[in-house]
């Protein structure tokens, strides 16, 4: 009969059990399935005019004829309406002796153009075929479009009539977050302003990104085409080439109320620290998904719109919440979002973020993000967005760094990393809110 006062295991046996348990956990972590993410290859060169070109490719695209081209500019201005007007004119009939838009001209060549902008970063995008019979005329047409640009008075007047001067939600929030301190009253934009701003863009080219597969022949065609397009362009990183206006960040949080009646919308803006790692980028994806899902689940909210403007030096995030007809409350910041202790401002203060308060919530969002990444990272279009909007050659998080490190970052990303990243990124003191009543 066993002596009840005698330990079940001797000390050496207990020590061995503890050691083997630790090793088992370690081995489980090593053998845990990693995310199925491709590792792209990167090649770099410069155009004859000194503009950096970065080409991202991956083996899964071999044989595909889709090539994404992104021209990234740094023509910073405090008048974001001017950026919008200029890009709109470029997308219209800006070709000489033509009444067709650029996309109408590109369509027969299996190509298309698009634009993106924020207060620091402007993007002209092209989706083209890498088949030489289509690629050569597409690049020739692009050269005429960007170097012999002909903005037309009638087109500009018609566009202004269809788009009367009023700020979008994005412009309005940018104004109070960045430009309110020293911004003079904005005058009506003229065609001369648009022409001058476009010339400013051509002298502040940051990077040209290429995403997709290319044969050696296609690569040589692209190199020659980019040299021709950018012959009169200048790099944004040339020291004497300073064309940017100063951006100043709002130092205090503010609440602005517009109109009277029932609360209709809440428009929010928040400054972020510059994104310096893939883990920080992952954290913002989870934080944003948490915000949108949590608020969209509420009965009194019709929809939530969120956008991350991860520009190189002054990134920010803005979101717009529209309420249903049943909402009768005046204090938008205190409207509950499903749980008694969650409000709209819960996403401004890190310790109140639902996915910070609940590790299970974080793990659910992380799992969703990994599933999305496993699908999205196979798309050249997704990588072109990463290249043009979320990574920058004049920041710590470059496209090359992202491509080389993102798979390991995803596999090793933990709840504690998420906590630390949000604390570094979110600047709660800059929170700006506009409450719109009707």
User: 116: domain CATH number?
Assistant: 3.30.830.10
Shared domain for 334 and 210, answered yes or no, is no
Residue 85 within a domain: yes
* Per-residue pLDDT at 245: 61
Shared domain for 289 and 406, answered yes or no, is yes
Alpha-carbon span 419 to 438, nearest angstrom: 38
Last residue of a domain, one of 180, 196, 229: 229
* Per-residue pLDDT at 186: 58
Shared domain for 279 and 421, answered yes or no, is yes
424: how many CB neighbours lie within 10 A of its CB? 17
Residue 182 within a domain: yes
Q: Cα 237 to the chain's mean position, in Å?
A: 21
Alpha-carbon span 28 to 61, nearest angstrom: 33
Shared domain for 207 and 269, answered yes or no, is no
Query: What average pLDDT values come out for the chain (438 residues) when binned by 10 residues?
Result: 53 56 50 79 98 97 96 90 94 91 97 95 97 98 97 93 77 83 65 97 97 98 98 82 62 79 92 97 98 90 94 94 69 47 80 96 98 98 97 95 97 98 95 91
Shared domain for 224 and 340, answered yes or no, is no
Q: Angle of helix 80-90 relative to helix 153-162, nearest 10 degrees?
A: 120
What tokens were used for 153? 């008075």
Q: Determine the 3-state secondary structure of 332 from DSSP.
A: helix
Shared domain for 51 and 198, answered yes or no, is yes
Residue 11 within a domain: no
Number of domains the chain contains:
2
DSSP string, 81-150: HHHHHHHHHHTSS-STT--S-HHHHHGGGT-EEEEEE-SS-EEEEEEEE-SHHHHHHHHHHHHHHHHS--
Residue 36 within a domain: no
Shared domain for 192 and 311, answered yes or no, is no
Shared domain for 218 and 315, answered yes or no, is no
Last residue of a domain, one of 229, 246, 263: 229
Residue 418 within a domain: yes
Nearest CA among 34, 37, 63 for reference residue 375: 37
User: Could you tell me the residue range of the domain that residue 294 belongs to?
Assistant: 254-437
Shared domain for 309 and 427, answered yes or no, is yes
Shared domain for 316 and 427, answered yes or no, is yes
Shared domain for 137 and 201, answered yes or no, is yes
* Per-residue pLDDT at 13: 52
Shared domain for 274 and 399, answered yes or no, is yes
Which helix (H) or strand (E) segment is 254 a member of?
strand 254-258
Residue 292 within a domain: yes
Residue 169 within a domain: yes
* Per-residue pLDDT at 300: 86
* Per-residue pLDDT at 255: 82
Residue 113 within a domain: yes
């Amino acid at each position: 009969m066993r002596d009840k006062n005698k330990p079940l295991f001797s000390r050496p046996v207990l020590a061995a059990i503890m050691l083997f348990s630790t090793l088992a956990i370690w081995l489980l972590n090593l053998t845990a399935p990693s995310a199925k993410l491709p590792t792209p290859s990167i090649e770099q060169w410069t155009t004859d005019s000194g503009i950096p070109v970065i080409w991202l490719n991956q083996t899964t695209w071999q044989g595909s004829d889709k090539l994404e081209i992104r021209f990234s500019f740094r023509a910073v201005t405090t008048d974001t309406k001017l950026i919008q007007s200029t890009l709109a004119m470029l997308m219209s009939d800006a070709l000489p002796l033509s009444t067709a838009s650029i996309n109408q001209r590109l369509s027969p060549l299996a190509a298309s153009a698009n634009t993106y902008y924020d207060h620091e970063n402007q993007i002209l995008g092209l989706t083209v075929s890498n088949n030489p019979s289509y690629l050569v005329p597409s690049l020739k047409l692009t050269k005429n479009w960007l170097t012999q640009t002909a903005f037309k008075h009638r087109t500009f007047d018609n566009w202004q009539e269809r788009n009367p001067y009023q700020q979008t939600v994005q412009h309005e929030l940018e104004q109070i977050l960045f430009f309110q301190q020293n911004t003079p009253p904005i005058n009506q934009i003229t065609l001369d302003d648009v022409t001058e701003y476009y010339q400013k863009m051509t002298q502040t080219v940051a990077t040209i990104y290429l995403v997709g597969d290319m044969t050696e022949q296609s690569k040589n065609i692209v190199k020659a085409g980019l040299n021709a397009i950018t012959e009169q362009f200048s790099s944004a990183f040339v020291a004497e080439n300073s064309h940017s206006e100063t951006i100043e960040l709002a130092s205090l949080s503010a609440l602005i109320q517009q109109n009277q009646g029932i609360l209709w919308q809440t428009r929010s803006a928040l400054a972020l620290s510059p994104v310096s790692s893939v883990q920080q980028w992952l954290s913002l994806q989870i934080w944003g998904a948490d915000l949108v899902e949590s608020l969209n689940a509420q009965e009194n909210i019709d929809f939530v719109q969120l956008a991350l403007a991860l520009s190189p030096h002054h990134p920010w995030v803005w979101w717009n919440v529209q309420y249903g007809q049943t909402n009768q409350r005046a204090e938008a910041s205190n409207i509950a979002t499903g749980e008694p202790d969650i409000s709209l401002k819960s996403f401004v203060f890190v310790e109140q973020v639902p996915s910070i308060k609940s590790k299970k919530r974080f793990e659910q969002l992380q799992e969703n993000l990994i599933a999305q990444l496993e699908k999205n990272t196979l798309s050249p279009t997704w990588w072109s967005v990463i290249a043009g909007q979320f990574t920058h050659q004049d920041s710590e998080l470059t496209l090359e760094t992202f491509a080389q490190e993102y798979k390991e970052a995803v596999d090793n990303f933990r709840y504690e990393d998420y906590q630390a990243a949000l604390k570094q990124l979110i600047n709660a003191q800059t929170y700006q809110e506009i409450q719109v009543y009707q």
